[in-house]
Amino acid sequence: MSFCRSILLLSLFLGLMITFSPNSQAAEHFTIAIQPLGKVDSKLIEHVKHEIQKVYKGELIVLSPVPLPKEAYYAPRNRYRAEKLALLFDGQSKQYSKIVVITDKDISTTKADIIDWGIFGYSLLGRRPAIVSTFRLAKAGKGKRFYERLAKLVYHELGHTFGVDHCPNVGCYMQDVKGKIAVVDNWKSFCSTCQNLLSKQLK
Please report, for the chain, the start and end positions of each structural domain, with discontinuous segments joined by +.
27-202
| pLDDT in the model for residue 140 | 78
- Calculate the average pLDDT of the chain: 86
**Which CATH number, 3.40.50.300, 1.10.3720.10, 3.10.105.10, 3.40.390.10, labels domain 27-202?**
3.40.390.10
- pLDDT 10s digits, 130-172: 999 999 998 877 889 999 999 999 999 999 999 999 999 999 9
For residue 171, CA distances in Å to 51, 56, 152, 154, 191 come to 18, 19, 11, 15, 8
Minimum mean pLDDT among 52-61, 123-132, 165-174: which range?
A: 52-61
CA distance 51 to 9: 44
Average pLDDT for residues 171-188, to the nearest whole number?
94
Contact 113, 119 (CB under 8 A): no
Q: Is 51:151 a contact under the CB 8 Å cutoff?
A: yes
Cα–Cα dist 38/32, whole Å: 19
At 6-39, the pLDDT tens digits run 433 334 333 333 333 333 333 347 899 999 999 9
